[in-house]
Amino acid sequence: MISASLVACSGTDEAPKGQVIARVNGQEITLSELNSELIANNLGKRADDKAVTKTMIERLIARKLLVETARDTGLDKTSEYVLSRQRTEENELAGLAQRQMMSQVKPPTREEAEKFIKENPGTFNNRKLMVLEQIRFLQPANANDVKLIEKATSLDQVADLLKQNAIRFERVPTVLDTTSISRQLADRIDGLPPGEVFVISNGQMVLANVIREKQPAAIPDEARIQYASQLIQQQRFAKGIETQVSQLKKKATITYQQGYDPKAK
């Protein structure tokens, strides 16, 4: 049914086939484009869910139609778009440079990990498993829809708001291991009043949660080594980025308008 409607719009009688999974006014949506979108949204195992795949295809179709409308009305010539495109391109290139640097950071030895554990006992002795009730849904096109649910005082209210805005969601129990997130975020979540809703964006997924139960859980010895190694690697990477940026600044010619120099009082 989707293919038939798109063929009518595209002006061709040939139904999409092979690598082409849909057409929008003559523009092809390929399987590679869909897979790239699924990876970019960090969906994990949910990327294999047919319902999620179909939702993502509809999002791609909607995006292409909105892009077409924007170009027809000249929005692609505005300074707002030019600056936004520049920002996106720069972030992508900067990210590639950072990932290249990350690949050059040497992994810590077991001895370094063991030393880190001894020097940071609080990080490894406060692990908790939190049983959550969770509502999850794809990031809606309208960011205001997410802001609405941030004011909800219960998951039932979240569900009602999503239904009112015709946003598909699923409500499931899940377990959060505090070692899977930053220590700061884990402490913030742990300090929430009982029953309070907290919202986390994970890639293109939005997760609304309520804690139902907390259980202290010791980290097995081997898992401690792995966790310590990850933390050391992250610290080394952050320090490496800071050092390289500092060196690049020294070699660069940077001038500021009066009042914008960060060193000025």
Asked whether the beta carbons of 29 and 22 are under 8 A apart, the reply is: yes
Per-residue model confidence (pLDDT) at position 142: 67
- Does the pLDDT of residue 194 top 70, yes or no? yes
Tally of CB atoms within 10 A around 93 = 10
Give the residue extent of every domain in the chain.
2-77, 128-216
39-68 pLDDT per residue, tens: 887 777 777 778 888 888 898 999 899 999
Beta bridge partners of 9: none
CA distance 230 to 105: 12
pTM of the model: 0.56
Residue 211 Cα distances to 55, 128, 178, 187, 198, angstroms? 28, 12, 13, 13, 9
CA distance 84 to 89: 9
- When pLDDT is cut at 50, 70 and 90, the band that residue 3 belongs to is very low
| CATH number of 128-216, picked from 1.10.10, 1.10.101, 2.40.10, 3.10.50 | 3.10.50
Q: In what order do the strands lie in the sheet with 128-138?
A: 170-177, 128-138, 205-216, 198-202
Per-residue model confidence (pLDDT) at position 34: 87
103-140 pLDDT per residue, tens: 888 899 999 999 999 998 878 888 899 999 999 988 87
- Does the pLDDT of residue 88 top 80, yes or no? yes
